């Protein structure tokens, strides 16, 4: 079941899929334009962390996840989805391979096939999005993050640590948006609890990072985090 806090976003994504399947001739760039138009029209924000570049192109991951796992678009439009969402389909397959991989060498092989850190970040974003929409268990992203970190290759390790910080900040921001975190003591405890689950050291997110996600993703202004900080 889609969490209540994302139902508006998912409704817009479903509307977009309705338009895509009706027209049947939209290429990747036209879909990105449609996604931007419908998000802005409905005041829906893309998922994001610090970086604001190519947000709507990255947000194709959300569209892909809802289409494949929520609407079962593959049943009727498999060839079209694989053609237009070729990157997301590749990332999805590789994420599953990494999750089930048995050796460090296998993980390195899969990661090196992606070519750069940006693609690895998107692979993690895809797993994250499936978790956010309740199509995947949290243990999958924790397992994949650990395996990437355990490669001991500098670029891969940096990506794992950076995404872990984002994931921690996002889950805290989501909990504040749901009114589940009432004070800073609880917020700091949640940061540490997520870090323990992930299982390796990385920079815990500062309050400013959480505030950015609250504002830019959940459209919740500074006062909410200030209230958490102020409560005893």
Parse the chain into domains and list their residue ranges.
4-165
Phi then psi for residue 130, to 5 deg, are -60, -35
pLDDT at 100: 97
The CA-based diameter of the chain, rounded to the nearest angstrom, is 56
Contact 132, 6 (CB under 8 A): yes
Contact 48, 27 (CB under 8 A): no
Residue 172: which residues within 8 A CB-CB, separation 6 or more? 181, 187, 190, 191, 194, 205, 210
Residue 10: which residues within 8 A CB-CB, separation 6 or more? 2, 66, 70, 133
Is residue 221 over pLDDT 90? no
- Give the mean pLDDT of 32-53: 94
Q: Is 160 left (phi over 0), alpha (psi -120 to 50) or beta?
A: alpha
pLDDT at 119: 95
User: What does DSSP assign to residue 73?
Assistant: T
Mean per-residue pLDDT of the chain: 93
User: What does DSSP assign to residue 51?
Assistant: -
pLDDT at 75: 83
Q: What stretches of the chain show up as alpha helix (H) in DSSP?
A: 7-23, 28-42, 55-58, 60-65, 74-84, 86-100, 104-114, 117-132, 138-149, 154-177, 184-198, 207-216, 222-230
Mapped onto helix, strand or coil, the DSSP state of residue 134 is coil
- Give the mean pLDDT of 201-222: 90
Span 102-131, pLDDT tens digits: 999 999 999 999 988 899 999 999 999 999
- Give the mean pLDDT of 60-83: 92
Contact 172, 181 (CB under 8 A): yes
Range scoring the smallest mean pLDDT among 5-14, 56-65, 175-184 = 175-184
pLDDT at 96: 97
Token pair 């984002």: residue = 166
């Amino acid at each position: 079941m889609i969490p209540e806090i994302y139902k508006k976003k998912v409704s817009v994504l479903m509307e977009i899929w309705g338009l895509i399947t009706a027209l049947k001739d939209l290429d990747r760039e036209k879909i990105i334009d449609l996604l931007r138009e419908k998000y802005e029209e409905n005041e829906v924000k893309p998922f994001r962390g610090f970086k604001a570049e190519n947000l709507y192109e990255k947000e194709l991951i959300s569209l892909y996840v809802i289409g494949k796992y929520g609407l079962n678009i593959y049943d009727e439009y498999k060839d079209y989805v694989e053609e237009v969402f070729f990157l997301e389909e590749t990332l999805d397959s590789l994420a599953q391979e990494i999750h089930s991989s048995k050796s460090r060498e296998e993980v390195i092989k899969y990661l090196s096939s992606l070519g750069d850190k940006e693609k690895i970040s998107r692979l993690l974003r895809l797993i994250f999005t499936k978790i956010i929409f309740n199509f995947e268990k949290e243990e999958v992203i924790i397992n994949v993050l650990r395996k990437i970190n355990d490669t001991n290759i500098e670029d891969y390790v940096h990506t794992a640590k950076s995404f872990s910080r984002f994931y921690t900040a996002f889950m805290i921001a989501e909990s504040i948006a749901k009114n589940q975190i009432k004070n800073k003591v609880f917020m700091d405890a949640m940061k540490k609890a997520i870090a323990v689950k992930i299982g390796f050291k990385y920079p815990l997110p500062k309050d400013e990072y959480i505030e950015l996600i609250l504002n830019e993703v959940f459209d919740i202004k500074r006062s909410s985090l200030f209230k958490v900080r102020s409560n005893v």
